[in-house]
Amino acid sequence: MIQVNTSNMAAFVPENYLAAHETALGQAQTWLQEASGAGSDFTGWVHLPQDYDKEEFARIKAAAKKIQEQSTALVVVGIGGSYLGARGVIEALCSPNYNQKKKTTPNIYFAGNTLSADALNEVVELIGDQDFSINVISKSGTTTEPAISFRFFKELCEKKYGKEGARERIYATTDRARGVLKSLADAEGYETFVVPDDVGGRYSVLTAVGLLPIAACGVDIDALMAGAASMMETCAKPGADNPAWQYAAARSALYQAGKKVEILAAYEPSFRFMAEWWKQLYGESEGKEGKGLFPASCEFTADLHSMGQYIQQGERLMFETVVRFEKPLTAMAVPYDDGDGDGLNFLAGKDLSFVNEQAMDGTLLAHVEGGVPNLVVKVEQNTARCMGALIYFFEYACGLSGYVLGVNPFDQPGVESYKKNMFALLGKPGYEDMREALLAKLGR
């Protein structure tokens, strides 16, 4: 389902780069498989596609069905790892224009991923008088953005349906036992789903975190998990045939060769939020201790008309990883035009996917010649099964990559700094001393 083509990066790295990485990859493989490396408490996702809680999985499907029956809108409240995976999969498989489509499943609105009042007000405006349900997602239960948003939507829901009615429409995905969201959900009687202790936010899309909103949008989550399980078997085998090894070794070799930026590019606009998910996965896993590739993303061919100039001729600091779907889901032939005023009749009858493929190949050749190595991740088709496989592939390669780089791929100590400053500036109890120091720095 997933193949990695490294032939267009090979000229930029030593010939034996894969063999040179085998020892480090072998060690990383053992650490992941045996949960024995740094951050091993957070490697529950490694065997998750087979070892998931089947009882909860059935409850997720039942809850998704209930949401579909009760509501024409679902508000998903969460940020970071509690947001991007669900949005990525839903946009990829159901379309970024999903809400505008005719369908029997509910519209979906994401909230709690910003502190913008305008954005929050807009979600309220878009919901309008639709019947809605809420899925609040927070592993810690204390993250400011979703906590504020949830307070808001909870109030809205209770005003519309009463406390009893709201209880039937609010679903909380959080820690099994700890945290204020868990306590609140228990006190209010909401149905709860679990973010497993041993799965960090950015590796959690295949838990209830991603699965409930994804299932509510009508995606076949059995197929998603089956694809991930199949890729899990592939990745469990050590060696040069393992696509995650190929990707991790190539990234590491390119980094050592001086490339500091990895651009994830796709030629499907619906992939935009999967790229956002990927950026969080790799950015939070590798960007620490003054190290790590900077993960960026582009949407081709649109960005060839903007970022394309820089990629072709700007600083030579990046390489591209192109996600390429092999078989399009739909066909559309270029029409024949009698007048041929635009001179495009030479393409008449050709499928648009053929044109897109030539754009991909032409771009690849141009960028490689311009000094931008290209890795291609081939995905059979944009289906739930392949998406599950792709998610697992990227997660596994990320775990390997972090270990090969020499960092703990499962912590995110840097994320705390802004939070502490923000709490202090907001006047949160316990942060008084820090507040004074920060106000002085800001000259207030």
Catalytic residues: 284, 305, 419
How many residues are listed for the chain in this entry? 444
What's the min distance (Å) between Cβ of 184 and ligand PA5?
13
What's the min distance (Å) between Cβ of 279 and ligand PA5?
11
**What Å distances lie between residue 264 and 91, 296, 321, 437, CA to CA?**
17, 6, 5, 40
Comparison of 325 and 396: residue with beta carbon closer to ligand PA5: 396
Q: Look-up: residue for tokens 């060696």?
A: 239
CA–CA distance, 40 with 390 (Å, rounded to integer):
23
What's the min distance (Å) between Cβ of 293 and ligand PA5?
18
What residue ranges bind ligand PA5 (CB under 6 A)? 79-82, 138-140, 143, 146, 200-202, 284, 412
What's the min distance (Å) between Cβ of 240 and ligand PA5?
30
Comparison of 201 and 243: residue with beta carbon closer to ligand PA5: 201
What's the min distance (Å) between Cβ of 172 and ligand PA5?
11
Type of residue found at 257? A
CA–CA distance, 254 with 10 (Å, rounded to integer):
9
Comparison of 350 and 419: residue with beta carbon closer to ligand PA5: 419
Comparison of 262 and 284: residue with beta carbon closer to ligand PA5: 284
Comparison of 106 and 201: residue with beta carbon closer to ligand PA5: 201
What's the min distance (Å) between Cβ of 141 and ligand PA5?
7
Comparison of 243 and 287: residue with beta carbon closer to ligand PA5: 287
